Homo-oligomer: A and B are copies of this chain.
Amino acid sequence: MKLRELGEDRLLAQLLPHLPPGRSVFAGAGDDCALVENPVGRNFLVLKTDCVVEGVHFLSQANALDVGWKAMMRPLSDFAATSAVPQFALITLIVSKETKNDWVKKIYRGLSRAAARFRVDIVGGETSGTRGPAVISVSVAGFVERGRCVLRSGGKIGDDLFVSGRLGGANRRRHLRFVPRIEESRWLTKNFALHAMIDLSDGLGADLPRLARASKVGFKIDKKNLPLNRAATIDNAISDGEDYELLFAISPRDSDRLQMRWRRKFPKLLLTKIGHFNRRSKIENRKLPGGYVHFK
């Protein structure tokens, strides 16, 4: 059945009751707004929105389950970068009326699975027609303890730079199946004082300069030591993007203890010291060309 024959109310009714409201959800999908229990304590409320666009972030023939998964995981990766705990998600789905209902259901299943992976409640949905490519936009709210949030701007000269996992070559499907490093990030801020962090969505070549700029420092990395995915080159690692790994800065005094404890806690996931922050210099900041930049 196509959406044109189904109508918005029936579409939402069909999709949303299957999303079980968590205990902290007072009124979820189906009312004008979502009402949820306020996260208690001296926490920050954390908000993030992101979208995937057909033809830009996924191809029309991509598996709809994967597309829904990716649409949810992208903003969750920003929660990882902040060391925040995601709790509630709102979905906006913009599709043509010729879209098959089955495709939409699979998108929602992908979204739901990804949300469930991190115990996030989908508390609202909005749909709209379009004559263009499909868009899935996901907004997430959650919290972070005041003592544990990590911004981009806290990096200091001399900080060591670490990257989780491996980089490059994500466009061969991996970008649709990634798991944001929330667990790793929460463990890091529970045990270490991170100075600055970002998730690598546009590639090291774009995101490392961003992190350095926000921290008002320069950087130096050892390209030959970058942790590469199989069949990926150094250029891939710098320019491909969509790795969704963590890049963070930490005092060199903590580096050894971090590496030792990380190996014990996450034996299957690489952690690599790729360089350090240094005094700001224009030359250093220009040493990493590449990285995916929208509109270019």
Contacts and interface: CB of A to CB of B under 8 A. Distances in A.
A295 B135 contact: no
A123 interface: yes
Given A90-B48, A90-B49, A92-B51, A294 B127 contact: yes
B32 A78 contact: yes
Contact of A152 (B31, B50, B91): B31
Interface string A1-30: 001101111010000000000000011001
A128 B45 contact: no
A249 to B, nearest CB: 14
A35 interface: yes
Contacts of A221: none
A7 B38 CA distance: 37
A55 interface: yes
Contacts of A97: 295-296
Interface stretch (A107-115, A143-151, A228-236, A255-263): A143-151
Copies, count: 2
A118 B57 CA distance: 34
Give the interface residue-count category, chain A.
35 or more
A221 to B, nearest CB: 20
Contacts of A141: 45, 47, 141
Contacts of A9: 210, 293
Given A53-B129, A56-B129, A133-B130, A34 B11 contact: no
A192 interface: no
Interface stretch (A62-70, A81-89, A170-178, A265-273): A81-89
Contacts of A11: 295
Contacts of A94: 51, 53, 135
A126 interface: yes
B36 A45 contact: yes
Nearest to A134: B132
30 contacts: A3-B295, A7-B294, A8-B294, A8-B295, A9-B293, A11-B295, A30-B214, A31-B153, A32-B48, A32-B82, A34-B47, A35-B82, A36-B44, A36-B47, A38-B39, A38-B43, A38-B143, A39-B45, A47-B141, A48-B124, A49-B124, A55-B131, A56-B128, A56-B129, A94-B135, A127-B294, A129-B294, A131-B132, A131-B133, A132-B133
Given A33-B82, A130-B132, A131-B132, 15 more contacts: A7-B293, A32-B48, A32-B81, A32-B82, A32-B197, A32-B198, A35-B46, A37-B44, A39-B45, A47-B88, A47-B141, A49-B92, A50-B126, A51-B128, A130-B135
